Structures are given as structure tokens and as C-alpha cells.
Structure 1
Amino acid sequence: MTTSLAHVVDGPEDAPVVLMGSSLGTDRRMWEHAAGVLARRYRVVRYEHRGHGATATPEVEGPVTIDDLGADVVALMDSLGIARAHHVGLSLGGMLASWTAQHHPERVDRLVIACSSSWTDTAQPWRERAATVRAQGLGAIVDPVVARWFTPDLDDAGVRADLRERFLACDPEGYAQACDAIATMDLRPGLARIAAPTLVVAGAADEATPVGKAEETVRGIRGGGGDVRLEVVDGAAHVAAVEQAGVVTGLIVEHLDAGRPEIARGQAVRRAVLGDAHVDRARGRQTALDTDFQDLITRYAWGDVWARPGIDRRMRSALTLALLAALGHEGELAMHVRAALRNGLTVDEIREVLLHTGLYAGVPVSNQAFAIATRVLRDEGLLDGPHPHDG
């Protein structure tokens, strides 16, 4: 039998749907940061597993399987009239996203599997955990379980306390049913059937589902010719969507946006010009406040103007350097000196651009621009000597 999963829906009614499943022992609020960003242009549905959050625990006669929990997700889609959606899940949520992509590929657009596993090495620990929770309650296991969710570097006691409280709020029987399902889970045979473009995310310090588990999932999908990539998030353990919320959200947004041609083109040009490191940092800082602005930049600045064929990127970089210097946009200038190098400008050509700018925009403008460019070029190992003096 299926269970009616509690859920919340955010975002425009006519937007593409993103279905988000959380980890064992948490609720929909685990995805708070990501949902706030995604809901600016997606219809975000965050659901809660049996006995988690506001979802009731059904009475069952025998052990629950991963098929039962997966059927809950499909039933939720049916109840909401969702024919097809992007599926995003962490831990148990990732297992169910993978299950859906294997058994109902027609209902999955793009797929994100985070901090998860495709099979259980040993069933006994999960059976023992289920038995302990049924007999003694969640308090008997809460501290060792939650301790593995975060790295020691996370010094936010409030976050730890909040997740601990949510864990204890779960229904022990619902939690135990999920443990039973994980104990017998083996999704490996179906990985090669996954056709949806897939992003697999792993926490570099995740002990519960180590990076090796993510690599195994990637190999299985790739073995069937699937479009899949792996991203390992530094400074994150098992609940990476909370500990490194900005980074994980950025990865999800970029993966889902890759299905939108007007965004994908801009993303590709932006990375080619500014470099992966810069774009990754910008994605990691993205919030619900600036999502629309980031979308604007990607679509129009990078997808339209920078992608136009009329002039090459070397000339666009030269023009950009001159304009940023003349307008006093010093915060952007250093970034575009690096971009100019990526686009093929030489140190001599950068010097000539800034010299020419001073002729028409003023000596003080060039003076400051040369100081900024000197710092960048020295950092890149392309220039020796002291910084230019003011004057």
C-alpha cells in the first residue's frame, strides 16, 4: 500500500516541477535554502517520508521495501497531477530519486542524487537499528547518528540542535520502516537504465555514504551510456545540503538550468570566459534575493551578448577592460583582467588597452587600473616588480 506523503509546494504554478526528497531522520526543511532559490523559477515540491515531518506512518504487515517507498513518491506525483518532474534527493531521498528514474523513466526530466548509495553493504546494522528504535525510541540512537551528519568544522550549535530536534520528532515506527527498506535495497542492477541527465553529489567527509559509493553510482549509470557527472563537495559530511547549502544549491541550480537552452548557453560562455573557480564561487553565494539577477546575467550578458559572433572574445575582453576602468568599476576589473588572459590577450595588449583608456578617460583612471592589473598579473606569475605608485 502507498502512503500519502506530506509536502509543501513553492514557486510559479506554470513552472517546471522539481521534486525534492530529504534524508532519513530529517524533514522538508533540510532543503530550505535550495527551495528558496529554485522557487524563483521552478515549481518546488518538498515531500516528507513515512513517519517524517507531517507524514503519518502506515500500519504494515511485513517489512517495507524500497519499492514501497518509491511507490509513495509516484503516488504523490499522481495526486498532484505531475506527469514529469526533475527529481532531487539526498540520502534516502536520493535512493528514491534513483528508484523513480529506473522504474518510471518517463516521469523524470533531470536527476540529482546527493550523499546517497545504490546498495547496502550489510543488512544487519540496519535491521538492528530498526529493532533498537522500535524498542527504545529514537533517543537511543540520535547522538551517534547526528554526529555523522556534519564535519567537526561546523561550529554552528544552532544548526546541530535544530537537526537533532527534527530527528527526535520523527515517528519511531516510520523511521524503522525506512531502515527495513534500506536494509534490503540494491539499486545497482537498474543504474544502467537511468536515461535522465544525472548529477551525483558527494560530501568529501561523508562517513555514512562515502565518496566511493557515489563513484559506484556514477559507474553504473555511465555503464549504460547515461549522461552523468560527479561533484565532491569539500567541507561537507552527510547532510551537505545544510552544511554547504550555498555550494550544493549552486550545483543543483546549474544542473537543472542546463535543461534550458537559453541558460545553458550562458553558463557555458560564462565558464569559458571567467573560469570554473569564479563561477563556482558565485553559484555558492547565490540566494533567493539575487536569483533573478543571476538569471538575468546568465541569459543576457553571457548567453546573448558575449555569445554573439560579430566580434571575438579577445576584442570583447579589451572593450570590457577599457569600459570597466573608465567607469570606475574596480571590483569587476580584476576579474576581467583574468578573463582577458583566458581569452588570449597578452600582457602587452592589456598594457596598451589601459594606456589608451587613460588618453580618453583620464590619467587617474589608468593609474588605478594599472595598479589593479599589476596585482592580478603578479598573482598569475606573469609580472615581476613592485606595485605602481599613485601619482
Structure 2
Amino acid sequence: MPYAKTPDDVSLYYEEAGQGTPIIFVHEFGGDHRSWEPQMRHFARRHRVITYGARGYPPSDVPKDVNAYSQMKAVEDIVAVLDHLKIERAHVVGLSMGGFATLHLGLRAPERALSLTVAGAGYGAEKAFEDYFRDVSNEVAAQFEKQGAKEFAKIYSLGASRVQFQNKDPRGWQEFATQLGQHDSVGSANTMRGVQARRPSLYDLEAEIAKVKVPTLVVVGDEDDHCLQPGIFLKKTMPACGLAVLPKTGHTLNLEEPEQFNRLVGEFVAQVEAGAWGPRDPRAMPSQIMKTD
């Protein structure tokens, strides 16, 4: 099985397919490397595509120490996979936890990214819910430890932004829920405590985010309530950012609406590679309603 080594000696399992400009997919908390299968199959037709398991997600290593998990280590893990594959720059596509890692890569190592697709990123960002998010993250971690992934997945997979997936695609949702139940309980608990509960609010990083010049696509579902406003914030803050909102859609974007997601990302990547995705035209002033002179 193929593995990449991180600077702190964690082995990360990865898969790759296809040829062309590389695209690396970074999964969410509730998913793993398998969550990107619809994208791997679609984009491998024209690109070299890579998916990998984050630390804590077998067959990647599962460090037992919670301090081995953090937002910065999630960024370093993307870089470690790219380095192992001798890829200097790639289009980086992340969902939720992976979307945060993708955005933070743009902050910490923008030279490694051809573009950033930040999907379903926003939980814990809203200042009004910051304390609640931290508390509920720690409670989720405790439930993974107490019940185990197989049992707690039955609850977690029916969250307010997951039922849209279940309603549209019961078989797809069941596959997601089954795979969630196969996760390592310690890895899930440590990820929730070390990454989710400790990451900074996006709003606290506004000055840094405003300096990210990498072409960026933000994608959110209109029923993924705690990602909508953060998505608009990113659109307004990042110089070369576009925003796509998928109707009647929840959090599991790439699996819930794979055709729409693939089309959006494919068009975005094509525009970036054509040099046609630039910063916002300065004439498009947010303060202007109608031009009079």
C-alpha cells in the first residue's frame, strides 16, 4: 500500500490515478479517502488525481496523542503528500475539515497551490457560536470514545446538514454512514479535539485571508446553515474568490450533488489554467448601486 511520511513520522495512505495537471482532494471529518471516489473517477480522465487519508483515518496512522493533531499539521500533511509524489503545485480541493486545511494551505504555503476549492467550510467560524462549537466538538469526541464509531455513526450521520443527502440519495447516504462507522474511534476523537475544537475562527484571520491571491472557489449548500455566512465572508475578503451556492443542498456536497460539484470544479480549474480567473475587477465596487457619472 502506498504511504507518504510526514515530518513527525506519521504515515499517510494515498491513492492516485490519471495523468495531467495534479488535483489533490482533502476529505472532511465524516469522510475519508474513499469519499472522493466520484471526483477521482471524473477528473482522472484529464488530470493526475490524488486522494489520501488524514492522520487518524486508517489505513493512515492513528497517533494516540491528541497533540499530534492540529490545523497546522493538517496543512503539513497536504504538503507531505505533495512532496512524496514530487508535485510542486496542485489544484487543492477540500471539503469541510479538508476545506479548512485547503484554506490554511493558501495562508501558509500558497506557492504549493495552483488553485483552492474550499467547500462546506464554516463550522466554528461564526463568532456567536464559537464557544458552542468548541463544546459540542468535545462532546462528539467523547461520544466516539464512549460508543465507538460504529454506533455513534448512526447518530452523527443524521445531523441537520446530512439529512438532505439521505433524502436525495438513500443508497449514497447509507454508504457514507457505513464508512463513517468504520472509522477509528480514537482517531476520530483526537481529530475532533485537536483539529476541529482548536482551530481559529475565520473571522479572526481576516487580515491574513485578504492577502491570499491564489484563485479560489468557495462552494456551500444553501441548507448548510453554518457555512453560508462564512462562505460569503470568504467571497468578500479574498481577492480572487468566486462563490457557488448549491440549492436544497446540505454539507456532504461532493457526494450529495456530484454532477454539479464536478462541473463547478472542472470549469473553475479550466479557467485557472487558461489564466482567466483573476482578482475582482476594481470597477465592481461593493458600495455602488447604480453608476450615475
Does the pair score TM above 0.5?
yes
Which AA in structure 2 matches 1:130? A
Query: 1:191/1:96 Cα in 2 relative to 1: closer, same or farther (>3 Å)?
Result: same
TM-score (norm 2): 0.81
| Alignment partner, residue 80 of structure 1 | 85
Measure, in 2, the Cα distance between the counterparts of 1:41 and 1:7: 19
1:49 is the counterpart of 2:54: yes
| Alignment partner, residue 155 of structure 2 | 144
The one of 137, 159, 163 equivalent to 1:126 is 137
Query: 1:22/1:152 Cα in 2 relative to 1: closer, same or farther (>3 Å)?
Result: closer
1:185 is the counterpart of 2:185: no
Residues 344-372 of structure 1: CA deviation (Å, up to 9, x unaligned): xxxxxxxxxxxxxxxxxxxxxxxxxxxxx
Query: 1:218/1:126 Cα in 2 relative to 1: closer, same or farther (>3 Å)?
Result: same
| Alignment partner, residue 281 of structure 2 | none
Q: State whether residues 234 and 241 of structure 2, in contact with CA within 8 Å, keep that contact through their aligned partners in structure 1.
A: no
Which AA in structure 2 matches 1:124? D
Residues 250-301 of structure 1: CA deviation (Å, up to 9, x unaligned): 0000000112329x69xxxxxxxxxxxxxxxxxxxxxxxxxxxxxxxxxxxx
- C-alpha displacement of 1:8: 0.7
| Alignment partner, residue 16 of structure 2 | 9
Query: What SS is found at the alignment partner of 1:62?
Result: helix
Which AA in structure 1 matches 2:197? A
Structure 1 unaligned regions, length at least 5: 266-391
| Alignment partner, residue 221 of structure 2 | 203
Measure, in 2, the Cα distance between the counterparts of 1:205 and 1:195: 29
Q: State whether residues 150 and 236 of structure 1, in contact with CA within 8 Å, keep that contact through their aligned partners in structure 2.
A: no
Query: 1:118/1:125 Cα in 2 relative to 1: closer, same or farther (>3 Å)?
Result: closer
Which AA in structure 2 matches 1:200? V
Which AA in structure 2 matches 1:239? T
- C-alpha displacement of 1:125: 1.1
Measure, in 2, the Cα distance between the counterparts of 1:64 and 1:6: 16
Query: 1:119/1:218 Cα in 2 relative to 1: closer, same or farther (>3 Å)?
Result: farther
Query: What SS is found at the alignment partner of 2:121?
Result: coil
The one of 157, 173, 177 equivalent to 1:164 is 177
| Alignment partner, residue 238 of structure 1 | 251
Query: 1:184/1:2 Cα in 2 relative to 1: closer, same or farther (>3 Å)?
Result: farther
Q: Which runs of 4+ in 1 moved over 6 A?
A: none
Measure, in 1, the Cα distance between the counterparts of 2:117 and 2:178: 27
Measure, in 2, the Cα distance between the counterparts of 1:59 and 1:210: 30
Measure, in 2, the Cα distance between the counterparts of 1:9 and 1:135: 35
- C-alpha displacement of 1:108: 0.7
Measure, in 1, the Cα distance between the counterparts of 2:242 and 2:251: 19
Which AA in structure 2 matches 1:10? A
- C-alpha displacement of 1:155: 4.3
Q: State whether residues 4 and 72 of structure 1, in contact with CA within 8 Å, keep that contact through their aligned partners in structure 2.
A: no
Query: 1:39/1:129 Cα in 2 relative to 1: closer, same or farther (>3 Å)?
Result: same
Q: State whether residues 113 and 214 of structure 2, in contact with CA within 8 Å, keep that contact through their aligned partners in structure 1.
A: yes
Residues 174-218 of structure 1: CA deviation (Å, up to 9, x unaligned): 1112212111111631322322110000011114x4311211222
Query: 1:150/1:34 Cα in 2 relative to 1: closer, same or farther (>3 Å)?
Result: farther
Query: 1:45/1:138 Cα in 2 relative to 1: closer, same or farther (>3 Å)?
Result: same
Query: 1:38/1:201 Cα in 2 relative to 1: closer, same or farther (>3 Å)?
Result: same
Query: 1:63/1:53 Cα in 2 relative to 1: closer, same or farther (>3 Å)?
Result: closer
Query: 1:233/1:2 Cα in 2 relative to 1: closer, same or farther (>3 Å)?
Result: farther
Q: State whether residues 108 and 196 of structure 1, in contact with CA within 8 Å, keep that contact through their aligned partners in structure 2.
A: yes
| Alignment partner, residue 350 of structure 1 | none
Which AA in structure 1 matches 2:232? E
Residues 88-125 of structure 1: CA deviation (Å, up to 9, x unaligned): 00111111111111100110111100011274423111
More strand by share: 2
The one of 262, 274, 282 equivalent to 1:261 is 274
More helix by share: 1
Residues 296-334 of structure 1: CA deviation (Å, up to 9, x unaligned): xxxxxxxxxxxxxxxxxxxxxxxxxxxxxxxxxxxxxxx
The one of 69, 77, 80 equivalent to 2:74 is 69
TM-score (norm 1): 0.62
What is the count of residue pairs matched by the alignment?
A: 257
